[in-house]
Structure 1
């Protein structure tokens, strides 16, 4: 269960990607140029894109106050449920920080009529996109379920809304308290993990609802009694404080009948007092410097700004995009490209219901002066305030934002699809259709609007934070609570600890006692058993069509018309495995350089052209392929494809950009050497595969710093010509078009691309893999509140073998929330926020890997428990009948929801081609899953996995961890992380 905000505007997950490769070939200049100079159509006007965004819905309210929204979308036989409660961390009184988030966890641990974990029925029924999140202003729960299972999940959601407290025990509270505290440690342990505390505690005075973090304080979590948490539920989780959205294969009449049946008998709860949250202004600028285990200093500028209840939030968000959110933002153009003072820079307006933060930051380029970077940051902020944005900047920022909004709405539920968009609008703005109002306002914004908002809110005193490399003097153990010593925050202001409450409401220091739960006002349905799952609709995927361009490039296409977007992926047979052992990092460097423009468009012009089209163009080096992806709006597809062609075929690779990009890649490697997860993988993969195998490299692909320091433009051009060529390319397309309409566009963009005269290189995965050496490799990371445990072994299987039984077995062992490993270390022992294992997806030899971040004082016992759980599962405690049900039948039921979006269909097409599967692989899989037996799964796991061959890596505070590890009976080798 993640603690995660949902953005109102941007789910903008523009894929950030990179990685590596190299081989002999000719120089880039030999690559034939694009054949066409025909001008592409102008981008569609923003107003036209905005008009295409629409989520029709109908609404009703039950007598108990539950508000219900219904959106019909029949593209898949699934329904998304999204339940939003108007309670978050801002509602927490003194001494009760973290309660909203703690209760989010408790509500996944069963209810009075559903004893046991909420995840069991979810996985049995084949639910997808399920989770819960807590933020300052709300708590939500969501799942996308097969239509035939809707009654079951309406019963479950209603049961935890109206019939929860009888299932909340002291044991459950103690366990989930430990889980939440480990979630806090895990977040704190990340680089920059304590910055949020600084941000909130300095911008908001003590007592302000946004002053304390949603995760809360360790002390308050420790102090939470069973009576406290039950009172919290009674006071906040009534139906009259909730919104239920049903989106998908449902209609209003069906929704009314089913929702009334399951929720109608739940009585209304106490009225939750409204919270007023004024935007504070610092009395004077505040400057602070802290230390963290990071690669390079980071400079921040922060202000508290208004939230969704103030129209200024929208021009502030667009202003942040112009300043530092676009690829061609002012900060990127000035600090990173022109002055080369920073390796990265950005800005965002993080908006909540009643407030937010405007955050500007820059990562200092090694060798540059921190003060100079700060001054340059300040100069760009001041320049934007003084001059305002240009009309073109505004249009690009708004187009990118609107395009992201359209793309995310293909999903019915999840974190940011149609259901949460409707709920968010109703909860925060009183209008489920607020997204349309917002997009219309965005299209109508003027440069003067943006300038005025920036001037009003960013001309106030600033909080200037600098984070420097070093060992933390204090972590987050004592942070996140209601009150922090004003001497540490620079804000003062503890004189009004309850000033935000409405007149007549009880102050925080004297909370209203919890009201007793009223008796149900009517007889509800029978809850003695879970409603049965009805007849499931079989998985139906769109027809796969094929074509071949005139130069031999294969095209694989599937039509999905739910939203007016098209996704294109061009995959080349390259990837990590193409990176030579003597030049690790070449491919990563090439891909970074390709972002710097083409022979006809420099980096700024290229970024601006992409932004005007509302297109996302990204690249990624994966283990076995190098992929370039375009996500485009249908009206702008011709121009977007032309831009993608220019990007792939004619990168500029200018010497003038090389040193800047080199510094960025070296900084990225340096950052990995301080991140617990990246540190572990950098040691584990070379230890497993050896120094001669193509997979024996760190899986980020950023490479060896010694190589990166010496790479030349010629090296990059050589790799480009050798590996990125028509004979190694396959084009995959999914979206709102037809193959007949698409093929001429692809022919025009890629069909004229001639194969280089040099022979195409061939990868070899035949290198010997060293015999396993079971041991513990310990990497010292002082002052870590958690240890990152990672273990693995190379299996005698390849990605093109039949791994379905093995992966199904791993679902039971470590591949799901209900798995043995997670249920033991998280749910039973409370030592971790989450533990898992997986069988990798690679064309060649695959690995089995275990990942377990655990609290420092339980590092040794955690490895002992993992070894015990693995040995028991693989010996005589194999798959149980209930586990078989959700690992096989549940997996089959999950497939229609798993392929709800174009992105999922595109991923399926790519995997089928890469692993040489038939087009109907997934429909066959839906039939095959229920035929698997426990014996099949046990046999596959016991034949493949040998826990005695695991190599273990531990990243943690060696002084505290090493004595624990020395009791386990394995050799302990203290090692360091290198760039190789």
Structure 2
């Protein structure tokens, strides 16, 4: 970026902020606003997660919430340690140790095997600046197992941490870093933290750390990290679901009570820094569009200004009707994408806004306008209507998250984060109450207080990457000059680590039994039909006061003609961009006012309109949905605007290595003339998108969006009669057009498979992406349970052979996955593997070997068979906890012609699995001889490796702008 351009842009910002007047209009709290169904404050008042709390003698704090909707329990463990506690030279330790804590303990050789066999979903963990957490949701009868395992890694870990495991997980983490760094714009995270926080600030370095620090981590280092930080007194355990405190307390005492307390976590000073002057930097990267960032450090999540800042950023660039969307994307068309958000942390949060400049637009013009809009919003604050829509949207999203008992965003995590960060499990109530009490003046005041300080502006231009991530992520980069920062004094490195003695070894512990599970009950499916014959499938679910409505059409981007790839997706994208009675802004604003979310998407086999709304606002939400579905305008000006966005989106896909591979693979597998021969993103080709007219889109709509091709699925807290009447009012009088419906031509022959490697050059890539695929004979209408189960052994799951080999044994990849997508036509089997560049050839060789050996020389083992059988049976309740999951299950039943009790018969199907049948499925369908292997990577590095494999190699140039 030229200095003069930046100076002019920032001058506009300063000028508009100087002497900014306060809002003079009469205001009222946002929660008093009433949509058709009533005030948002009424919804907030009803949100409650009742809990009981107790503390063990060793300091472990336990919260218990009872929710009997399903026989499952969410187990959520938070440790008060994150990357902010890492001293110089030890960056990445918290995250590295998260990985090590999955690698087995003194009494548990592997954490995933028993939990998967017990039906746990998900079994996962994460690390960020302030905390490390672990989550699993298990059948009620497996709760003792989950507690045994969580307690074993808390109190019985160090004896199992070996140099081999450290080296193994170090490699996994480094490949996770490479995978992240290989994404477009990924380097900006390092640039942002470098710019906002001074050297030594706990939030300055990235959570994944630097390669140098990861390489230098010794066994003694990581053991000391554990003893310093992972004591029970530094943890919070939440049990949420089919459990109560009276039952939970003796169980927790049994498993955790004998673990000695550790040293307390040292307090961390992490003040909110203020730049002495504006910071500006321009970098180049393998991206499709120039992106302009504006960043500030702001107070943490316990500061009184936090709700106002978060809401303000949502109004600025988070809502569909945000200021930046309405002005820069819709009206002035200077950008193709915008966003603004707050990243909340305990001590200091970060706010970020960015825009992707529309190709062909003068970047300086877009930048000046971007900063002018920011300045105007900061100076004047939001309108009352903007605030009310933002609050309604945020409250509705929070209600939806509380449908789950576990996971990273459910009730357990909500209670845990309140206690860990704020000392109050009910912090969510304070935050929601603060939201509903906000006024425009309060948001304005917070924005003026914190966003009038010097900004950190980062610009990313298309080009060769300025600098990769291999030297980034640590405390400091040698030789890098620093501009002035606020400093709160020196950082006491000794305070970040407290010496302690490792706990003494304890007696061997045994696995507790897992209780048998009862019969599985899928929600009853009730049927109805609208006046025009549209079938309705309904299931009642009362966990939260919300309703999900899915209107599906037999179309999808497989219905695009071979010379019109991208039509269906483009048409679907236009539906929310204006109807005959509402423009795009009005559509976005009405959704937000209602606390509703309407999404239109073109999948492979179906095009779907989904509505998620508060029960109280069902009828007005359906009215809006019907207008979007039945009366799109396809206004020429809006078509041109969305066309530019979609062309920019295709260019972005082509700069994302994995997405590029998934664009390239389907035409190779199915042939370009087959319905499935389109890029799996559905966005199609540049040429088609560039020439489609409003009339073309209207014709595609008439062929696809019609009542004779539709079905409706409803799941939620509503009576069947009420919802059917409302649907009949919205859609019952809709008649099909006279034109022919969309068709998929399954007669097109699929090319005979020819095993080969297709190499797409991505110069300088720190990692290669491997995407290998083949076409199977089966379709989704077949009984595929056996084939899917066999694929779980091969590659679909953490414990699968491919993942355990390339990730856990070799350490060459962050994760490998083999999937079989159930489709109406012949199903694709695809293996995805991002791997470090210098191991690309070796990784492919290992993939091919694993596939050949299963089952030829290494058939399904008894452990694998038991894990697949028991895990799938016990995990069924977890698969259908939410409205969206239930709606998806009903869709599978309807789309593939399965009986209503299909999911209830699955336990018997899984119990019948055995090694012989699993081996036979693998021998028939999962062999590598038909694989077409796409590799996206640095050709000069990987081509010599690929040559050693003895397979034909075809080089394909990467798409160019």
Aligned pair 1:104/2:89, yes or no? no
- Which residue number in structure 2 is paired with residue 167 of structure 1? 160
Aligned pair 1:114/2:108, yes or no? yes
Query: Could you tell me whether the CA contact under 8 Å between 2:324 and 2:339 is conserved in 1?
Result: yes
- Which residue number in structure 1 is paired with residue 87 of structure 2? 93
Query: Could you tell me whether the CA contact under 8 Å between 2:296 and 2:451 is conserved in 1?
Result: yes
Aligned pair 1:653/2:654, yes or no? no
Cα offset for 1:487?
Answer: 3.2
- Say which of 287, 298, 312 aligns to 1:319: 312
- Which residue number in structure 2 is paired with residue 84 of structure 1? 78
- Which residue number in structure 2 is paired with residue 406 of structure 1? 399
- Say which of 133, 136, 160 aligns to 1:140: 133
Q: For the residues of structure 2 that align with 1:489 and 1:576, how far apart are their CA atoms?
A: 51
Aligned pair 1:48/2:42, yes or no? yes
- Say which of 186, 195, 209 aligns to 2:188: 195
Query: Could you tell me whether the CA contact under 8 Å between 2:76 and 2:135 is conserved in 1?
Result: yes
Q: For the residues of structure 1 that align with 2:686 and 2:550, how far apart are their CA atoms?
A: 30
- Say which of 484, 499, 515 aligns to 1:514: 499
- Which residue number in structure 2 is paired with residue 614 of structure 1? 595
Cα offset for 1:143?
Answer: 0.1
- Say which of 559, 577, 585 aligns to 2:540: 559
- Which residue number in structure 2 is paired with residue 61 of structure 1? 55
Cα offset for 1:497?
Answer: 4.9
SS in 2 for 1:487: coil
Deviations 1:409-432 (A, max 9, x none): 000000100000000001111100
Q: For the residues of structure 1 that align with 2:80 and 2:658, how far apart are their CA atoms?
A: 35
- Which residue number in structure 2 is paired with residue 549 of structure 1? 530
TM-score between both structures, scaled by the size of structure 2: 0.95
CA shift in 2, pair 1:157/1:711, >3 Å? same
Aligned pair 1:693/2:674, yes or no? yes
Query: Could you tell me whether the CA contact under 8 Å between 1:486 and 1:493 is conserved in 2?
Result: no
- Which residue number in structure 2 is paired with residue 182 of structure 1? 175
Pairs within 5 Å for 1:621-632: 621-632=602-613
Q: For the residues of structure 2 that align with 1:894 and 1:291, how far apart are their CA atoms?
A: 46
Cα offset for 1:977?
Answer: 4.4
Deviations 1:159-205 (A, max 9, x none): 10011000100000000000000000000000111110001011000
CA shift in 2, pair 1:637/1:489, >3 Å? farther
Query: Could you tell me whether the CA contact under 8 Å between 2:61 and 2:237 is conserved in 1?
Result: yes
Q: For the residues of structure 2 that align with 1:142 and 1:305, how far apart are their CA atoms?
A: 29
Cα offset for 1:246?
Answer: 0.1
Query: Could you tell me whether the CA contact under 8 Å between 1:85 and 1:139 is conserved in 2?
Result: yes
SS in 1 for 2:827: strand
SS in 2 for 1:647: helix
Q: For the residues of structure 1 that align with 2:572 and 2:776, how far apart are their CA atoms?
A: 31
Cα offset for 1:388?
Answer: 1.1
Q: After alignment, is 899-908 or 169-178 more displaced? A: 899-908
- Which residue number in structure 1 is paired with residue 955 of structure 2? 974
Query: Could you tell me whether the CA contact under 8 Å between 1:207 and 1:496 is conserved in 2?
Result: no
CA shift in 2, pair 1:492/1:477, >3 Å? farther
- Say which of 826, 838, 846 aligns to 1:865: 846
Cα offset for 1:824?
Answer: 0.4
Q: For the residues of structure 2 that align with 1:449 and 1:319, how far apart are their CA atoms?
A: 10
Query: Could you tell me whether the CA contact under 8 Å between 2:275 and 2:486 is conserved in 1?
Result: no
Q: For the residues of structure 2 that align with 1:671 and 1:511, how far apart are their CA atoms?
A: 41
Q: For the residues of structure 2 that align with 1:948 and 1:271, how far apart are their CA atoms?
A: 57
- Which residue number in structure 1 is paired with residue 509 of structure 2? 528
- Which residue number in structure 2 is paired with residue 720 of structure 1? 701
Q: For the residues of structure 1 that align with 2:450 and 2:184, how far apart are their CA atoms?
A: 29
CA shift in 2, pair 1:683/1:489, >3 Å? farther
Query: Could you tell me whether the CA contact under 8 Å between 2:139 and 2:877 is conserved in 1?
Result: yes
Cα offset for 1:596?
Answer: 0.7
Cα offset for 1:562?
Answer: 0.5
- Say which of 390, 394, 407 aligns to 1:397: 390
- Which residue number in structure 1 is paired with residue 745 of structure 2? 764
Q: For the residues of structure 2 that align with 1:928 and 1:871, how far apart are their CA atoms?
A: 26
- Say which of 544, 550, 555 aligns to 1:574: 555
Cα offset for 1:839?
Answer: 1.0
- Say which of 915, 925, 931 aligns to 1:950: 931
Query: Could you tell me whether the CA contact under 8 Å between 1:201 and 1:484 is conserved in 2?
Result: no
Q: After alignment, is 509-518 or 632-641 more displaced? A: 509-518
- Say which of 410, 419, 426 aligns to 2:419: 426
Cα offset for 1:488?
Answer: 5.2
Backbone CA RMSD of aligned residues: 1.5
SS in 2 for 1:919: coil
Cα offset for 1:723?
Answer: 1.1
Q: Which runs of 4+ in 1 moved over 6 A?
A: 492-495
Query: Could you tell me whether the CA contact under 8 Å between 2:342 and 2:351 is conserved in 1?
Result: yes
- Which residue number in structure 1 is paired with residue 31 of structure 2? none
Deviations 1:807-843 (A, max 9, x none): 1000000001000000100000000000110112211
Q: For the residues of structure 2 that align with 1:479 and 1:717, how far apart are their CA atoms?
A: 49
Cα offset for 1:950?
Answer: 0.7
Q: For the residues of structure 2 that align with 1:336 and 1:761, how far apart are their CA atoms?
A: 31
Query: Could you tell me whether the CA contact under 8 Å between 1:555 and 1:730 is conserved in 2?
Result: yes
Q: For the residues of structure 2 that align with 1:419 and 1:567, how far apart are their CA atoms?
A: 23
Cα offset for 1:587?
Answer: 1.2
CA shift in 2, pair 1:536/1:510, >3 Å? closer
- Say which of 305, 321, 326 aligns to 1:333: 326
CA shift in 2, pair 1:211/1:646, >3 Å? same
Query: Could you tell me whether the CA contact under 8 Å between 1:201 and 1:489 is conserved in 2?
Result: no
- Which residue number in structure 1 is paired with residue 776 of structure 2? 795
- Which residue number in structure 1 is paired with residue 28 of structure 2? none
Q: For the residues of structure 2 that align with 1:692 and 1:654, how far apart are their CA atoms?
A: 31
Query: Which segments of 5 or more consecutive residues in structure 1 lack a partner in the other structure?
Result: 1-39, 499-506
Q: For the residues of structure 1 that align with 2:163 and 2:298, how far apart are their CA atoms?
A: 40
SS in 1 for 2:308: helix
SS in 1 for 2:617: helix
Cα offset for 1:527?
Answer: 5.2
Query: Could you tell me whether the CA contact under 8 Å between 1:104 and 1:132 is conserved in 2?
Result: yes
- Which residue number in structure 1 is paired with residue 15 of structure 2? none
Q: For the residues of structure 1 that align with 2:497 and 2:834, how far apart are their CA atoms?
A: 39
- Which residue number in structure 2 is paired with residue 834 of structure 1? 815
- Say which of 676, 680, 686 aligns to 1:705: 686
SS in 1 for 2:354: strand
Pairs within 5 Å for 1:270-309: 270-309=263-302
Query: Could you tell me whether the CA contact under 8 Å between 1:41 and 1:638 is conserved in 2?
Result: no
Q: For the residues of structure 2 that align with 1:722 and 1:896, how far apart are their CA atoms?
A: 38
- Say which of 597, 601, 615 aligns to 2:582: 601
Deviations 1:687-724 (A, max 9, x none): 00001101011011111111111111000000111111
Query: Could you tell me whether the CA contact under 8 Å between 2:281 and 2:459 is conserved in 1?
Result: yes
- Which residue number in structure 2 is paired with residue 786 of structure 1? 767
Query: Could you tell me whether the CA contact under 8 Å between 1:206 and 1:492 is conserved in 2?
Result: no
Deviations 1:35-69 (A, max 9, x none): xxxxx972421101211211111101111110000
Aligned pair 1:736/2:717, yes or no? yes
Cα offset for 1:440?
Answer: 0.6
The alignment of Structure 1 onto Structure 2 pairs a total of residues equal to 928
Deviations 1:704-754 (A, max 9, x none): 111111111000000111111000000000000121111110000010111
Q: For the residues of structure 1 that align with 2:490 and 2:672, how far apart are their CA atoms?
A: 60
- Which residue number in structure 2 is paired with residue 850 of structure 1? 831
- Which residue number in structure 2 is paired with residue 229 of structure 1? 222
Aligned pair 1:448/2:429, yes or no? no
Q: For the residues of structure 1 that align with 2:591 and 2:867, how far apart are their CA atoms?
A: 44
- Which residue number in structure 2 is paired with residue 25 of structure 1? none
Aligned pair 1:466/2:459, yes or no? yes
**Does 1 or 2 have the higher relative contact order (CA < 8 Å, sep 6+)?**
1
Query: Could you tell me whether the CA contact under 8 Å between 1:779 and 1:956 is conserved in 2?
Result: yes
CA shift in 2, pair 1:471/1:495, >3 Å? farther
SS in 2 for 1:361: strand
Query: Could you tell me whether the CA contact under 8 Å between 2:35 and 2:594 is conserved in 1?
Result: no
Query: Could you tell me whether the CA contact under 8 Å between 1:538 and 1:896 is conserved in 2?
Result: no
Cα offset for 1:791?
Answer: 0.4
Q: For the residues of structure 2 that align with 1:159 and 1:762, how far apart are their CA atoms?
A: 57
Q: For the residues of structure 1 that align with 2:327 and 2:832, how far apart are their CA atoms?
A: 40
Cα offset for 1:887?
Answer: 1.1
CA shift in 2, pair 1:979/1:874, >3 Å? farther
Q: For the residues of structure 1 that align with 2:422 and 2:448, how far apart are their CA atoms?
A: 25
